[in-house]
Amino acid sequence: MSLYSFIQNFKFSDAPVKTQELLKTCLLDIIGVASGARANHTSITLKNFAVTHYPASSLSSRLWFDGRAVHPFGAGYAGGFNVDSLDAHEGHFTSKGHAGATVVPAVIALVDACRAQGKDISGEELLTVLMLGYETGLRAGNALMAIAPEYHASGAFSGLGVVCAGTRLLNLDEETFLHALGIAEYFGPRCPMMRLVDYPSMLRDAHGAGAYAGLNALFMAQAGVTGAPAATVEAEDVAEFWNGIGEEWEIDKQYFKPWPVCRWAQPALTAMTALKLQHPEIVPQAVETVEVETFHESMRLQGHRPKNADEAQYALAFPMAALIARGRVGADEVTGDAIHAADILSISERVNITEAADLSARFPEEILSRVTVQLKDGKSFTSPITAAKGDPENPMSDAEFADKFHMFADESLGVSRSQAIQDSVLNLYGQANCEDFLNLLLSPA
């Protein structure tokens, strides 16, 4: 079956039941993250940027939790930055990146624009195109990571998932679809990810740029612009990454984050959480030093005294200190005044992060850390080699997902609206149209 045939003929019910449920979990997780980031500096800046530079025209999409109408380009940009500004969204091992933070905002923007033009879209169809966007975006990421010489941000590949989802929504013919793939790949933002790790900024993992690239490619191809073949899809040397589509599911291989910080910091936080549960004497005033042994990429996070929210989330020492000092790492700990809090910074200075050769050798197939806590009274506790909570082999429970969603959404949107969003997502499949869901998501908070 060709990729185009798969896109046009796939039904949400074709996926295994557990994969269907996982897609809903992904959607709710992304919404929770976006709500937690709704009022931070990056999200507000990008929403205002979209209103100023991408006004609504014949195409109109509303901004998340805001209600203002802009062009889908602006909604995609703002939505991608919004989700990406709180680093708690799901990710994927083989692509070394994320699809949902691009695909969900871009698809929602396109669906809202289609509905504004009078097109009815059912809850089932919305779930279907989201599944298409995730699955194809992740496979494009696998292909790019296999053939590209440099580690690129997720926006470099996730726009291709937007094209595949959008092709179904817009009912593009196969020739137009192939041109759109080529345009999205050719104009895809090949952002050097490790530069962002070394110099954290609002640019993050390029999800806003990926959303824009995918939407732009759809509209350009629809207008008759031609594109070169997409090497990450059509080249012979990447065929293995597209084999089995519709039978094997990359989305099943995703990981989820309990905490809103870089994926590479999560194993150490998981290890510290376990140590605190096992040893109640690990309290802030008792800690002398914390030694974190980890793989090279994680070691480069460091981040003992972040200057802003971007540095706090692309850090390891600071969130580790917040977990010890405050007992949690939520949105406030990495975006608010807590970034400059003396109780956290005093512990952060005592966190030492070093590379462990044995753990670097197991990366990227495994993301692992080991933590030792030295107390002032001489006691010392060392964790085993630990994988991150939220990995497929160490999954979050339904209750943990619900707690995470409500931790972000309740504080930002209120308990009533966040519960209504959760109920709407869980019941989308049976809805004749997705109007009620979109209104909950896109109306002003």
Q: DSSP assignment of 214-257, as one string?
A: HHHHHHHHHTT------HHHHSGGGGGGTTTBTTB-GGGGEE--
Task: Give the per-residue pLDDT at 407.
Answer: 92
Give residue-wise pLDDT tens across range 257-282.
999 999 999 999 999 999 999 999 99
Task: Give the per-residue pLDDT at 133.
Answer: 98
What's the CA gap between 353 and 321, in Å, rounded?
A: 12
The answer to whether 3 touches 233, Cβ cutoff 8 Å, is: yes
Evaluate the CA torsion angle 94, 97, 99, 100 in order and state its sign: positive
What's the CA gap between 405 and 419, in Å, rounded?
A: 10
Rounded to 10 deg, the angle between the 123-147 and 100-116 helix axes is: 140
Neighbours of 184 (CB within 10 A): 32
Q: Which two tokens stand for residue 258?
A: 């309990």
Percent above pLDDT 90 for the chain: 92
pTM comes to: 0.92
The answer to whether 101 touches 32, Cβ cutoff 8 Å, is: no
Task: Give the per-residue pLDDT at 134.
Answer: 98
Q: Per-residue confidence at 96, pLDDT binned at 50, 70, 90?
A: confident
The answer to whether 359 touches 369, Cβ cutoff 8 Å, is: yes
Q: Per-residue confidence at 365, pLDDT binned at 50, 70, 90?
A: confident
Give residue-wise pLDDT tens across range 158-180.
999 999 999 999 999 999 999 99
What's the CA gap between 214 and 106, in Å, rounded?
A: 8
| Selection from 281, 285, 349, 343 nearest residue 315 by Cα | 349
Give all domains of the chain, ordered by start, each with its CATH number.
3-257+402-442 (1.10.4100.10), 263-387 (3.30.1330.120)
Q: Per-residue confidence at 200, pLDDT binned at 50, 70, 90?
A: confident
